[in-house]
């Protein structure tokens, strides 16, 4: 199964090079590489589920000298989500970009982004994580400029600067760790790190850098313009996956590597910022005039929920209750990934068919694009956290954790945020019921509508009804 780990990095990377060399058949090559990568991710998930956590030392160099790849339940799940989302977005992108020149620029960067995401989820030490984080940031910025408009370029420039600042902070933290403990290996560090000025400073710097990249309130300012002005498939991946990668690192650092360094006060601070993100992000989404901006602000809010889990996880003693809450966190992150990617793709369909995405003028859209409207509704169910979506199970655990630890504030924030989400989703769906002339034909699903529909169905139905294995997989740690 270690072959699958190598494949997850090598396949998209080879694809990236191949699309650069063969621009004419770039689309076919890219989709092929994407399919192969997805199969590798499935194999890895299967392998981890059956054999437990995996690790592989590249070139036979032992840990500390060479590059080590690791996969546990959490990374296998995130890799699977990444592959499915990226594959669906690839299929959509093949229909989205009509000009050959656009495609030639798009595919190599796209596959490079995919490579760096996979490498990040597989990395076993802090330096490699820094490298993959940097690669990810750069390819994401390059993709965001493909919108071609002035606004896109401005937003991407800001995105670039923020990303670089984040990486610098992260790198500074990493060097501090290396100076203090002489190792960067994620498996060794938890045993040697002890509370003290070095660990605290390093953690603070790395976390701040990552929070900047994951756009936690009040460091979210760059996200809405960047995500709203990028091309639809790029927005989908930025919102669903790229911010999650930084979040994944926060999770690893706080819960595994620095578990004995983190203090409840710090966790409460993260929770508080998360709460502000939920409320402010949802409120701004409600005010948004364009669909893409709504989706981007909703991402700010949804990331906030993930941070609400930190004070709960820190307050719960290790045991089944804590594992349930941690599973809820991952479930929420996975559901959001699928739902948000699907939402952006659906918005892309509307934008291309109707020429705009102004919410006020959406009357009649539903009559022409019933499948896309349905996809938006499914995404909405997941974003609000209604059953049968995976987010419902995630929020259930969030609420249960808040009750269990008596932290009622988070419960109130979650409830308010969910109702605000319902308000902004149904503000859009209310436009689906006009009596504009409609074609007398059955509901049709065009080729570019399928990816959005499948992704949102994954979020709203599959994860919610068949999500129990997620908790099982998370028991498999490194």
Partner 1 sequence: MNWDAWLPVLVVASSLLPGLVIFFLREGSHRLRTALNLVGAILKLVLVGILIWGVFHEHVYESRWTLAPGLDLVLHADTLSVLFVTLSTVLWLVTTVYAIGYLENAPHRSRFFGFFSLCVSATVGLALAGNLFTFVIFYELLTLSTYPLIAHRGTPEAVRGARIYLAYTLGGGMLLLIGTVWLHVLAGPTAFVEGGILGRLPAEYHPQLKVIFLLLIIGLGVKAALVPLHGWLPQAMVAPAPVSALLHAVAVVKAGAFGIVRVVYDVYGVNFTDQLGLLTGLGIAAAITIVYGSIKALFQDNLKKRLAYSTVSQVSYIALGTAILGPIGTIGGIVHLVHQGIMKITLFFTAGNYAETLGIHKVSEMNGVGRRMPATTLAFSVAALGMIGVPPVAGFVSKWYLGLGALEAGMAAWVMPVLIISSVLNAAYFLPVLYRAWFREPGPAWPAEHIPAARFETSAALLWPPVVTATLALAAGLFAAAPYSPLEWATLIAHREYGL
CB-count burial class (<10 Å; 0-12, 13-18, 19+) for 477: exposed
Residue 52 sits in the site that holds partner 1 (CB under 8 A):
no
In the complex, least distance from residue 278 CB atom to partner 1, rounded to whole angstroms: 14
In the complex, least distance from residue 244 CB atom to partner 1, rounded to whole angstroms: 21
Residue 430 sits in the site that holds partner 1 (CB under 8 A):
yes
Q: Which of 56, 388, 407, 409 binds partner 1 (CB under 8 A)?
A: 388
CB-count burial class (<10 Å; 0-12, 13-18, 19+) for 101: exposed
**What is residue 405's three-state secondary structure?**
helix
Q: Which of 381, 413, 452, 453 binds partner 1 (CB under 8 A)?
A: 381
Could you tell me if 476 and 330 are in contact, meaning their C-beta atoms sit under 8 angstroms apart? no
Residue 221 sits in the site that holds partner 1 (CB under 8 A):
no
Query: Which structure tokens are listed for 74?
Result: 């959490």
Query: Which structure tokens are listed for 78?
Result: 């995130």
- State residue 369 phi and psi, 5-degree precision: -125, 65
In the complex, least distance from residue 391 CB atom to partner 1, rounded to whole angstroms: 12
Of 150 and 435, CB closest to partner 1: 435
Q: Which of 39, 411, 461, 462 binds partner 1 (CB under 8 A)?
A: 411
Residue 275 sits in the site that holds partner 1 (CB under 8 A):
no
Of 231 and 385, CB closest to partner 1: 385
- Which stretch, 74-82, 213-221, 232-240, 461-469, contacts partner 1 (CB under 8 A)? 461-469
Residue 435 sits in the site that holds partner 1 (CB under 8 A):
yes
Q: Which of 97, 121, 247, 471 binds partner 1 (CB under 8 A)?
A: 471
How many other CB atoms are found less than 10 A from the CB of residue 386?
18
In the complex, least distance from residue 322 CB atom to partner 1, rounded to whole angstroms: 12
CA separation for the pair 75, 444 (Å, rounded): 37
In the complex, least distance from residue 182 CB atom to partner 1, rounded to whole angstroms: 40
Residue 434 sits in the site that holds partner 1 (CB under 8 A):
yes
Residue 456 sits in the site that holds partner 1 (CB under 8 A):
no
**What is residue 469's three-state secondary structure?**
helix
Residue 66 sits in the site that holds partner 1 (CB under 8 A):
no
**What is residue 138's three-state secondary structure?**
helix
Written as one string, the DSSP assignment of 217-242 is TTS-TTHHHHHHHS-HHHHHHIIIII
Q: Which of 56, 127, 178, 426 binds partner 1 (CB under 8 A)?
A: 426
Of 60 and 437, CB closest to partner 1: 437
Of 111 and 454, CB closest to partner 1: 454
Residue 52's region, left for phi above 0, alpha for psi from -120 to 50, else beta, is: left
Q: Which of 137, 173, 327, 337 binds partner 1 (CB under 8 A)?
A: 327
In the complex, least distance from residue 372 CB atom to partner 1, rounded to whole angstroms: 14
Q: Which neighbouring-strand residues pair with 71?
A: 54
Q: Which neighbouring-strand residues pair with 358?
A: 290
Residue 359 sits in the site that holds partner 1 (CB under 8 A):
no
Q: Which of 283, 354, 387, 407 binds partner 1 (CB under 8 A)?
A: 387
* Residue that the structure tokens 């009040």 belong to: 218
Q: Which of residues 28-47 bind partner 1 (CB under 8 A)?
A: none
How many other CB atoms are found less than 10 A from the CB of residue 404?
16
The alpha carbon torsion through 448, 449, 453, 455 (nearest 10 deg) reads 20
Q: Which of 198, 269, 286, 400 binds partner 1 (CB under 8 A)?
A: 400
Residues ≥6 apart with Cβ < 8 Å to 63: 57, 124, 125, 185, 187, 188
Of 172 and 415, CB closest to partner 1: 415
- State residue 203 phi and psi, 5-degree precision: -65, -40
Residue 415 sits in the site that holds partner 1 (CB under 8 A):
yes
Chain-centre distance for alpha carbon 427? 25
In the complex, least distance from residue 39 CB atom to partner 1, rounded to whole angstroms: 28
Residue 438 sits in the site that holds partner 1 (CB under 8 A):
yes
CA separation for the pair 403, 409 (Å, rounded): 10
Q: Which neighbouring-strand residues pair with 55?
A: 70
Residue 403 sits in the site that holds partner 1 (CB under 8 A):
yes
Q: Which of 230, 271, 22, 212 is nearest to 139 (CA)?
A: 230
Residue 422 sits in the site that holds partner 1 (CB under 8 A):
yes
Residue 393 sits in the site that holds partner 1 (CB under 8 A):
yes
Instruction: Report the interface residues with partner 1, using CB under 8 A.
Output: 320, 324, 327-328, 331, 381, 384, 386-388, 392-393, 396-397, 399-400, 403-404, 411, 415, 418-419, 422-423, 426, 430, 432-435, 438, 440-443, 464-465, 467-468, 470-471
């Amino acid at each position: 199964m270690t072959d699958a780990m190598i494949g997850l990095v090598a396949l998209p990377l080879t694809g990236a090079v191949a699309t650069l060399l063969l621009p004419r058949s770039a689309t076919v090559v890219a989709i092929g590489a994407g399919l192969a990568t997805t199969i590798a991710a499935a194999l890895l998930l299967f392998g981890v589920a059956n054999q437990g956590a995996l690790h592989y030392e590249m070139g036979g160099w032992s840990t500390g000298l060479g590059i080590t790849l690791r996969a546990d339940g959490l990374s296998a799940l995130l890799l699977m989500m990444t592959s499915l989302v990226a594959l669906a977005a690839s299929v959509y992108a093949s229909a989205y970009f009509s000009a050959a020149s656009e495609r030639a620029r798009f595919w190599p960067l796209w596959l490079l982004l995919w490579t760096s995401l996979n490498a990040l989820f597989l990395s076993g030490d802090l330096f490699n994580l820094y490298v993959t984080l940097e690669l990810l940031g750069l390819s994401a910025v390059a993709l965001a400029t493909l919108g071609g408009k002035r606004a896109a370029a401005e937003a991407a420039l800001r995105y670039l600067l923020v990303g670089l600042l984040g990486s610098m902070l992260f790198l500074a933290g990493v060097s501090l760790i290396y100076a203090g403990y002489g190792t960067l290996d994620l498996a060794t560090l938890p045993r040697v790190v002890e509370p003290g000025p070095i660990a605290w400073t390093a953690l603070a710097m790395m976390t701040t850098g990552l929070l900047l990249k994951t756009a936690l309130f009040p460091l979210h300012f760059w996200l809405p313009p960047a995500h709203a002005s990028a091309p639809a498939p790029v927005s989908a991946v930025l919102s669903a996956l790229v911010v999650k990668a930084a979040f994944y690192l926060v999770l690893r650092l706080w819960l595994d590597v620095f578990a004995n360094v983190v203090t409840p006060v710090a966790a409460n601070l993260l929770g508080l910022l998360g709460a502000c993100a939920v409320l402010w992000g949802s409120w701004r989404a409600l005010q948004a005039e364009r669909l893409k901006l709504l989706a981007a602000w909703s991402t700010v809010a949804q990331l906030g929920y993930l941070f609400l889990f930190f004070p709960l996880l820190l307050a719960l003693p290790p045991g089944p209750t804590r594992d349930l809450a941690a599973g809820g966190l991952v479930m929420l992150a996975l559901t959001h990934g699928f739902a948000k990617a699907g939402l952006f793709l659906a918005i892309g369909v509307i934008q291309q068919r109707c020429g705009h995405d102004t919410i006020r003028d959406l009357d009649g859209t539903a009559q022409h694009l019933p499948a896309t409207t349905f996809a938006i509704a499914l995404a909405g169910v997941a974003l609000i956290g209604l059953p049968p979506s995976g987010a419902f199970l995630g929020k259930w655990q969030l609420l249960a954790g808040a009750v269990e630890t008596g932290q009622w504030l988070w419960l109130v924030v979650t409830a308010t945020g969910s109702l605000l989400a319902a308000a902004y989703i149904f503000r859009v769906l209310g436009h689906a019921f006009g009596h504009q002339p409609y074609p007398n034909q059955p509901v049709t699903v065009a080729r570019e509508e399928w990816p959005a529909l499948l992704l949102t169905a994954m979020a709203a139905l599959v994860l919610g009804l068949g999500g129990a294995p997620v908790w099982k997989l998370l028991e498999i740690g490194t």
